[in-house]
Amino acid sequence: MPHLALYRRLRPKDFSEIIGQEHIVRILKNQLSTGTVSHAYLFCGTRGTGKTSMAKILAKALNCTNLTDDGPCGECQSCIAAAQNRNLNIIEIDAASNNGVDNIREIREEVKYPPQDNGVKVYIIDEVHMLSTGAFNALLKTLEEPPAKVVFILATTDPQRIPATILSRCVRLDFRRITVDEMNAALREFTGAENIQITDEALRYICSISDGAMRDALSLLDQCISYYPDEEIGLNNVLELTGAVDNRVFFDLMEALIAFDSGKSLSVIDDMVNKGRDVNRFISDFIYHLRNLLIITSSEATGDILVSEREKYIEQGKKAGSQRIMAFIHEFSALSAALRFSFNERIMLECLCIKLCNPQSDESGDNSALIARIEKLESIPRAVSLPKAEKVPQPDDTIKPWAPSGLPKPTAKSISKSLPKDIDTVVSEWPAFRKTFQAPISAFLEDTRLEPLGEGLCIVFSNNSWISHVSERKGMISEAFLEKYGKDFPLTFIAASEYNIRHGEKSSEPDTKKADAAKQLAEKLGNVEIEWE
């Protein structure tokens, strides 16, 4: 006897065996019990969520002579004939291969004949969105007013491609993706009944990569059973069969990207490729890893994360930050889309990792790249001496590099209010004083000028985007002024454009162009006097 695929062996036989679609089961059971079954249904949902199985059960229930609370009884002649695919009242049509007008015309002719054994004739049209425009038009009238005891069940994975005229004539029922927990419970029950040895980690991984499709999970489980018939199926066995990698690799790669370590990231990729893993699958799984990090960082929800790995996700997520994780998701998603046109996936992946680990080489002008550069500067240990900049002539030789830990803080008695002459001194020394700050503050203050503002100081920024970053470090800058000058200067940050608008003065010098134009006009009018502004 030929092997029967697992998803066919485990196809639900009544409503009680349907997994994850309780809302649809309740609607159909209520309609069957009250006799309010519609003449046309549209089952929508992604692959493997039970659309065809639900259609078969509903068709069997409409022809069952001994209907139960869970649907068809499975024992009457009609149910037995349906289980053996010989019930003439249940007609299944694949619209992907029967999508022409002639095929629909055959249905229009067949519905004129009454069903057998006083049952209900049910037409199950799978992948109905594949019908041509002419076929949809031919189906309209029959679908709207079918003969008595005729029911149409249309199933599709792409309802957007179905004309509105068809949608308006059907009762639409949307099938949702099956959750990992629901899928895992169903497969654990089956493997226990069949005495199949498989670990919890392996079974949960099968469910997680099936993307809510039970058929995909059953197909993958069937492959694992065939590949390892007499041994326990572990996570490594499933990873080897699917070409995937252990999620420890994703933690290692993420650590390398956070630390801007391109060498380590390339080593992770090299190890993954040498083990024969699929690069496309690796990128897809890494994006899912980033998604878990983002969720647990933003809301601390566990989602599909194992309890044993929750602390690792929390630690790495906080270290990376939600903004950077979202940037990584964007970059790797774009790479995944671009790999369809690439001849070497490994090279593309390595180039992206090198780019993310070296933000200073990114000349795109994107703010996220600039932020990454600053984060890389901040990640440099304080003990490491940075290259010294060229010596800049200073107006006062007494100016020393600012180092909070190296100078004694002034006492409360030495702190006094600033005087105008003090402010003038600070403003004149600002070009040299701002260079004494450590990175990244020195980079933020590079293109700024200092202006007096009452009894305080105003730092004017040419680049508006740095104001928010400097504001977060305002206390450090105030402390530097306090230690250097022993004065408490109130600080204000403002953009150069806004400062010019507030403090700009109208030029008193005459506009030579306007003067010349007025003079020429006066000469043409007979040397009359013209007043102009």
Residue-level pLDDT at 306: 67
Residue 351 region by backbone torsions, left for phi larger than 0, else alpha for psi between -120 and 50, else beta? alpha
Spell out the residues 6+ positions from residue 216 whose beta carbon is closer than 8 angstroms to its own: 47, 48, 210
**The pLDDT value given to residue 301:** 64
- What pLDDT score was predicted for residue 330? 93
CA distance readout (Å), 486 to 247, 416, 460, 462: 55, 7, 22, 28
Handedness of CA 248, 253, 258, 261 (dihedral sign): positive
Would you state the torsion angle of the CA atoms of residues 121, 126, 130, 132, taken in this order, to the nearest 10 degrees? 0
Per-residue HEC secondary structure of 337-370 comes to HHHHHCCCHHHHHHHHHHHHHCHHHCCCCCHHHH
Q: What is the DSSP letter of 198?
A: B
The amino acid occupying position 365 is G
**Dihedral sign from CA coordinates of 93, 99, 102, 107:** positive
What is the full per-residue pLDDT of the chain (533 aa) written as tens digits?
567 777 888 888 899 889 989 999 999 999 999 989 999 999 999 888 999 999 999 999 999 988 888 889 988 999 999 988 889 999 999 998 888 898 888 888 888 888 888 889 999 999 999 999 999 998 988 888 888 889 999 999 999 999 999 999 999 999 999 988 899 898 898 888 888 888 888 888 888 888 888 888 888 888 888 888 878 888 888 888 887 777 788 899 999 999 888 899 999 999 888 888 888 888 988 998 898 888 888 776 665 666 667 888 888 888 888 888 999 999 999 999 888 887 888 999 999 999 998 876 655 545 555 555 565 555 555 444 444 444 444 444 444 444 444 444 444 434 445 556 778 888 888 888 888 887 777 777 887 888 888 778 888 888 777 787 778 778 888 888 888 888 778 888 888 877 777 766 444 444 555 556 556 655 655 555 555 54
CA–CA separation, 21 vs 313, rounded Å? Answer: 31
Q: What is the pLDDT at residue 192? A: 85
The model carries a pTM of 0.59
Nearest to 202 by CA among 225, 242, 234, 240: 234
Q: What pLDDT is attached to residue 23? A: 92
Q: Are the CB atoms for 435 and 442 separated by under 8 Å?
A: yes
Alpha-carbon span 254 to 319, nearest angstrom: 10
Question: Rounded to an integer, what distance in angstroms lies between the CA atom of residue 513 and that of residue 306?
Answer: 75
Query: In this predicted structure, what is the pLDDT of residue 7?
Result: 82
Helix (H) or strand (E) holding 368, with range, is: helix 367-378
Which position has the token pair 């069937």? 222
